[in-house]
Structure formats: C-alpha cells, structure tokens
Structure 1
Amino acid sequence: MVSLRRRITGSERQAFTLVEILLVLAIMVVGTTLFVSNASRLIDGMNEPSVEERVDQAVKRARLMAVTEKSKVWLMFDPEIRALIIRGEDGSELGSFSIGGEDAQDEVMVRFREVQAQPYRSSGVWGMAVELSRDDRGSMEFWPAGFATNCVVEIDDGQGDRIPTRIMYDPFSNARMEADL
C-alpha cells in the first residue's frame, strides 16, 4: 500500500543537491567576472581600424594636406614608433597615424615600393608591363596638384609565413586600385 501511494504522489522524484546548485552558481560567477573584466578590451579591439584602413586614412590625409598647404608632402613609416607620419617640405610633422597594437610582439612593417611601367613586345604588338621595384623608396610623395608618386604600399605583419599585403593607389586620384603584383 505504501509503494502504491509513492507512485501516485511522485515523492521519489530526482532533485538537485545543494552542492550541485552551489557549484553551478560558482561557475556562473567566475564566468561573469572573467567576461566583465575583459569586456572593455574586447570592445576596444573591435573598434580599432585595421592596418589597411589606417594606410587609406593616411594617404587621403596626405593628399589633402598637399593640396591645402600648396606644397609637397611626404608620407613615411617610422618603425620605431610604429606610425605613418606626414611631413611637409620643411620637415615638420603634419600628422601621424599609429599602426598596430601596443604589444611588443607586433612587428608590422610598411614599405613604399615604386611601380614602373616597362614596355615589351609580344607577337609584334607593343604593350606595357608593370614592374615592382625591389627597394623600399622610404616614402610616398604628394604634390600640390593632387597627384602622388606611383608606388605600392606593402604591409608586412611580421609573421614571416604570409605574403605581404600590397595596396596600389592611382597616382592622380589616390583611389585604391586592385592590383596583382
């Protein structure tokens, strides 16, 4: 009779023990603490522009400075402070764009390599081939008329196992161009 009564009332139900409940609460507290302590770092990392976006911003700003200042302007990379620097004709710094994080292992390198058109003849037809110089020219030059040196910006992330990212800009409009060099 007792067993029948237990079956009807369902008093043999399985329940969580106090230890299990406290363990789950402790895990939730630790997880929440870790998330909250790193949330600001995660949010800042998501808002930080990429190296390519920084280079685009620097190229646009340098061109604008050359036109508005009515003088030559140079865009160069300083590896010691990991920043793109815009310099005027007198050598003064007109602006800078930091590249990469504050991490000491961040070995980002930006080079400016000259692009040269080389004439060639194939099957009796003359054409032009684009050749990338081996040497880093050190800077990209902008003139007051709004055009710039014909060069490719090469971004090396320092990993050594990847091909550097290459960005080519139109020398007359400074628009980013697709190029396979």
Structure 2
Amino acid sequence: MQLYTPSLTQYQRLLTKEVKIGDLLLGNGHPIRVQTMTTTDTMDTEATVLQTIRCIEAGAELVRITAPSKKEAENLQLIKNELRKRGYHTPLVADIHFTPNAAEIAARIVEKVRVNPGNYVDKKKFEQIEYTDAEYLEEIERIRERFTPLVRICKEYGTAMRIGTNHGSLSDRIMSRYGDTPIGMVESAMEFLRIARSESYHNI
C-alpha cells in the first residue's frame, strides 16, 4: 500500500510547489500563511476596506473578498486602491462562485482568485445523469473552453489561483461518475489543473 506520508506517527511537512501571491510566497519551505475572509457587502467599499484593515492588523497575510457577480468584481479595484492609499499592501483574494465573467475581471485586479470547479462551469441540478465516455469528454471540452480564458488572464497578469473543491458543490457530472467521494473531489480539481498545465500555468 502506498502511503500519502513517509510516517504515520511523525510529522513531516510535504514540500509543495512555491506559489507567488503578489509579493507573498506560499508553499514549499515558506511559513504556513494566515488567510481570512471578510463578511461585508463587497459593494460597501468603506466597510470592506475597514474590515480588511482589521484583519491585516490582527495578523492576516491574505484577505479573501467575495465577488459573486461582475459588479462586485469591478468594485475590488476601488477596495484595492483605497487599501493601497492607506498603506496596506496585503494580497487580496477574490472568491468566485458561478460567474466566470466575474473571475476574469477580478484576475486583472487582485493577486489571487479562488474558483470552485463544482460550480464554475457545471450547474448542480440535483439530477442523476448517466454519461457515456464520449459525452463525458464533450463536457470536459466545454470546461476547457470556459476555463481557459481565466487561466490565460492569470498567466498574463501574474495572478495566483486557488482551485477549491468541497463535497457540497460537486457537479452532477462528477457525482454521476464518482459519487460523493474523496476521489470525486480530487477529480473535480484535477480536471481544472490539467487544463491549467496544458496552458503552462502553474501558479496554483
């Protein structure tokens, strides 16, 4: 049996790939970073700026802000400008669900975007659908067409990306083939990672 760690009884950190988020380095031998997320309305620029500052002053090294639609993604520019004006340069992360257009806007503004592969392209309709291998590959190609523009923007702007899966938002397509399983979560992320790798984008 192949183990995921050299020892089951002694801690040993896995040396992962280094990721650059603005001026912050994550992974590999760098310290574990502290990230938090705002709870304000992203369209309320002043409230979001003030809460972000409180997070930074409490020790956050990354601050994630929700951007559920294009208007919130666009407002990230005002938030970032105001933070920089006040002397705060902590990297910002846009949290994206359901709206690829918002991700493409945010990736030109903030240092990192987080996408959920379960709802970035696929829609969860709570239907059990059977796919032939050919149909499944057609769906993968549809994901490639929708996700590749974001990958290319991130590559151009030096924006990092987090592909964040969770079992509560696995797509019907993944659920139909893998069920609500750990391997389903892994494959959901790997589909997106393979596309990124095919574009020689590795800042993930």
| TM-score interval, normalised by the smaller of the two chains | under 0.3
TM-score after normalising by structure 2 = 0.23
**Radius of gyration: which is bigger?**
1
Larger proportion of strand: 1
